[in-house]
Amino acid sequence: MEINFEETLEHGSKEDLDKLKSWLFRENVRIITASKDLENTQKQFLHEKEQFKSEMKALNRKLSGERKKLEQDRGLFEKQMQILKNGFEQLDIDRRRLEKERAKLEAQKEIINQSSYDVSYGEVSVFFKGVNNQLSLKKRYKELIKIFHPDNIAGDKEIIQMINSEYENLKRSFDTEKRA
């Protein structure tokens, strides 16, 4: 509704003035209502803004705490990973050492198995080869017992019996030479 206010006020009839007055009243009510709605909307917006700020602060605190926990977990994980790496390295070292020992024992067993069929060459045994007196005989005997004792890994009861038999024979022969 387009109204010329100045013309209606100067030349308008009472009816036109009443219409203008009524329109102004409605317009005033509409503006006051719109103004109150705007104020309520602003208050609601400010309330929501404050609520949003407090929620953001809480979330930031929680996020900060989670980040710290994540960093601690990462540090713990790195330490555990280093422990595992060191453990695997040590296991590898131990495995290699055991493989060397196993190969050494297998070689010793092979030597023993080869010599177990023919333990003596003439008068001198394979176990006591190069022994030419009673002192070296006793020393070699002790060394062989340490190596081939049945309680050891490379030990064998049959070999110990052969060593003992040869030792006794050589001991007797050295005793008879000593007496003669």
How far apart, in whole angstroms, are the C-alpha atoms of residue 129 and residue 140?
Answer: 10
What is the predicted pLDDT for the residue at 5?
67
Q: How far apart are CA 93 and CA 87, in angstroms?
A: 10
pLDDT at 2: 61
pTM: 0.36
Q: Would you state the pLDDT for residue 43?
A: 95
Per DSSP, 125 falls in state E
pLDDT (tens place) for every residue of the chain, 180 residues total: 566 767 767 777 888 888 888 888 999 999 999 999 999 999 999 999 999 999 999 999 999 999 999 999 999 999 999 999 999 999 989 889 888 888 877 777 766 655 544 444 444 467 888 888 889 999 999 998 888 888 887 778 888 988 999 999 888 888 888 776
Spatial distance between the Cα atoms of 48 and 94, rounded to a whole number of angstroms:
67
Tell how far CA 50 is from the center of its chain: 45
What are the strands, taking DSSP E only, across 87-180? 120-121, 124-125
**Amino acid 113: pLDDT:** 59
| pLDDT at 3 (0 to 100) | 64
Q: Both tokens of residue 57?
A: 């602060």
- Determine the pLDDT at residue 77: 94
Spell 43-71 as b/e; 16+ CB within 10 A means b.
eeeeeeeeeeeeeeeeeeeeeeeeeeeee
Q: Which residue has the tokens 């006020």?
A: 9
* Dihedral, CA of residue 111, residue 114, residue 119 and residue 121, to nearest 10: -100
Q: Coil, helix or strand for 137?
A: helix
